[in-house]
Amino acid sequence: MMQLFIHFYLKMFFILTPFFVLSAFISLTKDFDDYEKRNTAIKVTVGILISSFVFYLFGQYIFELFGITLDAFRIGAGCILFLSALSMISDTNDTKNHGNSRDIAIVPLAMPITVGPGVIGMLLVTGAEADTLMERIIIGLALLLAILSVGVILYLSSSVKKLIGKQGLIILPKITGLFVSAIAAQIIFTGIQNFLHLG
């Protein structure tokens, strides 16, 4: 059980792309004082928490409603997640359009920068894959801890920025992108493999 928890915690943590989100957070809050930054970080964390658990808990009903097979969605979600990873590696962060607004916690930081199409797809697939109630609870706790970890990083953004420096803020999102691309590739291959076996 602990191994399952750690596996999903690390997986969810990297899929939430904490360092990519951190670089966007620092860019968008550069004119905020420390209180505004901390308040925004809390709002972002709550926004990520609510949106993530909605997709995680109700994913299987969405599949049933639209008649989508899990493997077809695996392939689609994996492709979108892979494109998200490429955007991190190539450093195409679309935050310029929101730079003048101070109401940035939910849009764009929580969604779509953190909980984007790739994360949504992954949450839907993960929720639908869980076979037992205990497994759903363990994965849910891992997701909760991953979200809180991202929230702590954002809450301590000023300290983290000083700790890792400007070069760290450039390098870490790219490393995260490499991990996410590997996870995306695994999801796609699993979907294709299962689809061919069923066919």
Work out the percent of the chain whose per-residue pLDDT is above 90: 53
67 Cβ neighbours under 8 A, 6+ residues apart: none
Residue 96 has pLDDT above 60, yes or no: no
pLDDT band per the 50, 70, 90 thresholds, residue 17: very high
Round to whole Å and give the CA distance between 172 and 20.
8
Indicate the average pLDDT of the chain: 89
> What one-letter code names the amino acid at 136?
R
Predicted local distance difference test score (pLDDT) of residue 44: 97
pLDDT digits (tens, 9 = 90+) for 50-77: 999 999 999 878 888 888 888 888 898 8
195 Cβ neighbours under 8 A, 6+ residues apart: 69, 71, 72, 75
Predicted local distance difference test score (pLDDT) of residue 87: 83
pLDDT band per the 50, 70, 90 thresholds, residue 195: confident
> What one-letter code names the amino acid at 30?
K
Helix or strand run (H / E) with residue 109: none
pLDDT band per the 50, 70, 90 thresholds, residue 163: very high
pLDDT digits (tens, 9 = 90+) for 135-149: 999 999 999 999 999
Of residues 47, 194, 35, the one with CA closest to residue 112: 47
Predicted local distance difference test score (pLDDT) of residue 56: 95
Predicted local distance difference test score (pLDDT) of residue 71: 87
Round to whole Å and give the CA distance between 181 and 184.
5
DSSP string, 55-97: HHHHHHHHHHHHT--HHHHHHHHHHHHHHHHHHHHTT----GG
Integer angstrom CA distances of residue 194 from 72, 112, 183: 9, 30, 17
Predicted local distance difference test score (pLDDT) of residue 92: 62
